[in-house]
Amino acid sequence: MTPLPRVLILADSCNPEWPSLPVVGYKYARALSQVADVTIITHIRNRENIEKAGELANKFHYINNEWIAGPMHRLAIFLRGGNEVAWSTNQMMSYPPYIDFERQVLANFRSQLDNGDFDLVHRITPMSPTLPSYISGRTRQPFLIGPLNGNLDWPTAFSREQKREREGLRRLRGAYRYLPFARSTYRNAACIMAAFQHTIDGLSGVDPQKIVPFPEIGFDPQVFHAKGRNTPFSKDGPKRFLFAGRLVPYKVPEAAVRAFATSKILKNHILHILGDGPEQARLEHIVAEAGEGDRIIFEGPKSQSEVAEFMRRCDAFVFPSIRELGAGVVIEAMASGIVCLVTNYGAPGDLTAGGRGVQIALQPMEGLVRDYKAAMESCIADPSAYAAMALTAQKYAQTYYDWDAKAAYTADLYRAVLNGQDMGKFSEYK
């Protein structure tokens, strides 16, 4: 029996209870533990929740650099005015503590690396291409980085939303190429896993032969599934539409709310809004002015299992986000057998290509409102066509995006790197 590859995994953000990147990092690391002999290095801030989960406690080692990570985090929160907006500011503040994180990893594991106790080093988080690696090229083992995700521009038509999102510093993004270790990260990497074409396009100056398309998102089939649900739009009574996500400017929940509120055809149906955030008060005002509070319902933040249950109860997922890098919620909706209506820009457009969802053209707000209203009305008018679309999307998600499938694909990558094979056979993620 061929022994499993021994992999030192760098996962600074890795937490089973924290949303977005930390939970994705944790789920990916957990899946990799089934296909490789892993040692996972993460930050001390994640220890409590990892040990509470009780799944991989013996696989984790912790780095404590709170002497710099703590003050930089507090400075980032101050500059951002909280933790809801100004993501670019957060990334800039992350650079010094992350470089120190990898310095400590190398110092703590230098003897094992030199002795050949590992076959590979794989950095899975952070996933931003703008955060370089100190370790890349400093070990005898091949270095893999990714999945990376980034480099999706703000649409010019949404400058007001960009201002409300406090993303003015994004114009400095290109400066990361001049940071220490930025060039060596990609020059020395054996494999660069990049999510979606927008990320690949941003890796200028990187050897394209090293780049492997690999979306970072996935779903838990035990949570997100279509068991026990009705075929979309088949049940008598009101049809249910769903928005799920943080109520922040770039997700443009306003388009879904205004489209639903102004449609006569949708008068007897319901829109559920899951999530909260700085846009909530403004959206509630729009709904109150339209007198539609009985059919546009703000449900508040929900757990993953609660979101999944809503997806199985609803007929269509309405997601107008105009700057979505990964769109894990879209894959979760697809796996749950719900019809997806998305803006055709970034990850949602890639995921719903090939008839797997309804794609609304990226355009100024009034056009989005008009076209989302038409799309929702079309679902009511021709339910069988959209039910078939949901089934196509569900099969796609189940085939390529559950965490076991993604781990198996990664194991193939590990073998290819260790055998010195060309990365060309991984030219698309399918």
Q: Are residues 75 and 198 in the same domain?
A: yes
| Structural domain includes residue 230 | no
- Condensed to tens digits (0 to 9), the pLDDT of residues 267-307 reads 999 999 999 999 999 999 999 999 999 999 999 999 999 99
From residue 125, how far is each of 43, 313, 425 by CA, in Å?
11, 34, 24
Contact status, residue 191 vs residue 144, Cβ threshold 8 Å: yes
In single-letter form, the type of residue at position 89 comes to: T
Per-residue pLDDT for 85 more than 80?
no
Position 86 scores a pLDDT of 47
Q: Are residues 192 and 257 in the same domain?
A: no
- Condensed to tens digits (0 to 9), the pLDDT of residues 92-130 reads 667 888 999 999 999 999 999 999 999 999 999 999 888
- Condensed to tens digits (0 to 9), the pLDDT of residues 50-61 reads 999 999 879 999
Position 166 scores a pLDDT of 62
Contact status, residue 314 vs residue 337, Cβ threshold 8 Å: no
| Structural domain includes residue 232 | no
Q: Are residues 97 and 193 in the same domain?
A: yes
- Condensed to tens digits (0 to 9), the pLDDT of residues 247-256 reads 999 999 999 9
| Structural domain includes residue 225 | no
User: What backbone torsions phi and psi does residue 48 show, to the nearest 5 degrees?
Assistant: -60, -50
| Structural domain includes residue 294 | yes
The rounded mean pLDDT for the chain is: 91
Over pLDDT 70: what percentage of the chain? 92
Position 90 scores a pLDDT of 61
| Structural domain includes residue 197 | yes
Q: Are residues 112 and 32 in the same domain?
A: yes
Q: Are residues 205 and 171 in the same domain?
A: yes
- Condensed to tens digits (0 to 9), the pLDDT of residues 187-242 reads 999 999 999 888 999 888 889 999 999 999 999 999 999 999 999 999 999 999 99
- Condensed to tens digits (0 to 9), the pLDDT of residues 360-377 reads 999 999 999 999 999 999
| pTM of the predicted structure, to 2 decimals | 0.90
Contact status, residue 198 vs residue 281, Cβ threshold 8 Å: no
User: In which band, very low, low, confident or very high, does the pLDDT at 88 lie, cut at 50, 70 and 90?
Assistant: low
Q: Select the more confidently predicted residue: 125 or 427.
A: 125
Position 79 scores a pLDDT of 61
Q: What is the CATH number of the domain that holds 280?
A: 3.40.50.2000
Q: Are residues 214 and 104 in the same domain?
A: yes
- CA dihedral for 380, 382, 383, 385, sign (positive or negative): negative
Position 365 scores a pLDDT of 95
Which of 428, 424, 324, 341 is CA-nearest to residue 379?
A: 341
Q: How many domains does the chain have?
A: 2
| Structural domain includes residue 224 | no
From residue 328, how far is each of 114, 218, 222, 334 by CA, in Å?
38, 6, 16, 10
Q: Are residues 164 and 244 in the same domain?
A: no
Position 157 scores a pLDDT of 80
Q: Are residues 271 and 189 in the same domain?
A: no
Q: Containing domain of residue 184, as a range?
A: 6-218+402-426
Which of 249, 251, 254, 285 is CA-nearest to residue 163?
A: 249
Position 182 scores a pLDDT of 84
What is the full DSSP assignment across 43-82?
EGGGHHHHHHHTSSGGGEEEE--HHHHHHHHHHHHHHHTS
Q: Are residues 409 and 392 in the same domain?
A: no
Q: Select the more confidently predicted residue: 399 or 170.
A: 399
Mean pLDDT of 339-355: 96
| Structural domain includes residue 390 | yes
Per-residue pLDDT for 380 more than 50?
yes
Q: Which of 84-88, 263-267, 285-289, 305-309 has the lowest mean pLDDT?
A: 84-88
Q: Are residues 186 and 296 in the same domain?
A: no
Q: Are residues 245 and 207 in the same domain?
A: no
Per-residue pLDDT for 162 more than 90?
no
Contact status, residue 26 vs residue 15, Cβ threshold 8 Å: yes
| Structural domain includes residue 407 | yes
Position 152 scores a pLDDT of 77
User: In which band, very low, low, confident or very high, does the pLDDT at 80 lie, cut at 50, 70 and 90?
Assistant: low
- Condensed to tens digits (0 to 9), the pLDDT of residues 393-422 reads 999 999 999 999 999 999 999 999 999 988
Q: Are residues 249 and 325 in the same domain?
A: yes
